Chains A and B, each alone.
Chain A
Amino acid sequence: DIVMTQSPATLSVSPGERVTLSCRASQSLGSNLAWYQHKPGQAPRLLIYGASTRATGIPARFSGSGSGTEFTLTISSLQSEDFAVYYCQQYNGWHTFGGGTKVEIK
């Protein structure tokens, strides 16, 4: 199985700051990587697919980059509604998710 490792586990950030989340795969994925935002009690929300393509309706402050085994999700200026847990997911083989990064208010 492909193992996905996200870092850091928790990030304490102030509104307006730039945020960079990392996701590493145990083997090459090409660009078969997605990012999701998940808030308590809500459905997970697709942010990015194909490593760098924003999903429909996702604000431009969210961007994804990387290929192979190293990927990054960047939020250019964190808004109050962005505090959540973020997961990466590989779909180069049977789906696996990273452990998540919790973005919390500093």
Chain B
Amino acid sequence: EVQLVESGGGLVQPGRSLRLSCAASGFTFDDYTMNWVRQAPGKGLEWVSGINWNSGSMGYADSVRGRFTMSRDNAKNSLYLQMNSLRPEDTAVYYCAKAGTSGILIIGYMDVWGKGTTVTVSS
């Protein structure tokens, strides 16, 4: 069974850092681009970042560029999101999502999602 499990969320003060993880199983992890997508309370889905199979290409939403860094460890089938200089508007459920097709591109649809981990930024 293809599965993505996020972890690392929690309550953090503005300006501090947090690192999210996503454990993947049930598919050949290093064949696929991976993404982070978030949903703020009462809001819709917002793509945060994507990374291709070999970390050679990455993309970020304007709202997080320069503060968030995405990475992956193919040997551990794991995805990460290092979030620095956190702001209250970063409060959201963060989802890890797998690209629907293998290849080198970052952009594409997402066919498997995790259940998310909640990040709350508040003093």
Q: Residues of A at under 8 Å CB distance from B?
A: 1, 34, 36, 38, 41-46, 49-50, 55-56, 85, 87, 89, 91-100
Contact = CB atoms under 8 A, between A and B. Distances in A.
A46 B111 contact: yes
A84 B99 CA distance: 23
A55 B111 CA distance: 8
Interface of B: 4, 35, 37, 44-47, 50, 59, 61-62, 95, 97, 100, 107-116
A96 B47 contact: yes
Contacts of B37: 44, 95
A91 B45 contact: no
Given A89-B109, A91-B107, A97 B44 contact: yes
Contact of B108 (A41, A43, A55, A91): A91
Contacts of B112: 46
